[in-house]
A and B are shown apart, each in its own frame.
Chain A
Amino acid sequence: KAGVTQTPRYLIKTRGQQVTLSCSPISGHRSVSWYQQTPGQGLQFLFEYFSETQRNKGNFPGRFSGRQFSNSRSEMNVSTLELGDSALYLCASRGGVKLFFGSGTQLSVL
């Protein structure tokens, strides 16, 4: 069974641009959640989707948005990028009580 797949693995953008990250959960998993990880703040919860509906949201500005498709694949979008958005973005799919994480997308904003 394939694991959680995130693309792209690395991304370099400049301030003001927007970016879209993709996450394919493990087959059969309907819940996908997104996290931002930085050295200063650690792992911060962004949002969770279940069956195409946002079920939970963290304390991030509206520039951060997401969606989930009928096949459970999820995308995360960040508009008007800021330097502070540089981080490792992780997505996870839930199977029972366990969260399975992808390898992440390392975003660098210059």
Chain B
Amino acid sequence: SQELEQSPQSLIVQEGKNLTINCTSSKTLYGLYWYKQKYGEGLIFLMMLQKGGEEKSHEKITAKLDEKKQQSSLHITASQPSHAGIYLCGADIRVSGNEKLTFGTGTRLTIIP
């Protein structure tokens, strides 16, 4: 089973609309990262959240961490074609005494005119 679950798996949004992507962990979080990926390419770092209740913004993208629920959400305001891609959450999760950066299943975002 996945240690990080993302929802929805895919999203088609009209340009200009707002959207939210969720990431839920089954284990204790020590740091939550959001990355964006263009198909077949590497991941681009968006932001990192470390404390419960923390919220960060970059341009029109805002991410929040709800540590108690072991959840994070990524919100895009007034979406643009440049926002299209795959969004992945990642977390430092402790497994068998070792911490490793684990990623969610990803959310594929399509922006339509």
Task: Spell out A's residues near B (CB within 8 Å).
Answer: 4, 33, 35, 42-43, 45, 48, 56, 58, 88, 90, 92, 97-104, 106
Q: Is the interface of B mostly helix, strand, loop or mixed?
A: strand
User: CB distance B100 to A43 under 8 Å?
Assistant: no
Cβ–Cβ < 8 Å partners of A102 in chain B? 42
**Separation in Å of the A62 CB from the closest CB of chain B?**
18
**Separation in Å of the A80 CB from the closest CB of chain B?**
25
Nearest to A48 among chain B residues (CB) is B100
Question: How many pairs of residues, A versus B, come closer than 8 Å at their CB atoms?
Answer: 48
Q: A56-B98, A88-B40 are in contact. Are A99 and B106 (CB under 8 A)?
A: no
Q: Is the interface of A mostly helix, strand, loop or mixed?
A: strand
Give the CA-CA distance A102 to B43 in the complex, in Å. 8
Cβ–Cβ < 8 Å partners of B45 in chain A? 98-100
**Separation in Å of the A41 CB from the closest CB of chain B?**
9
Give the CA-CA distance A103 to B45 in the complex, in Å. 13
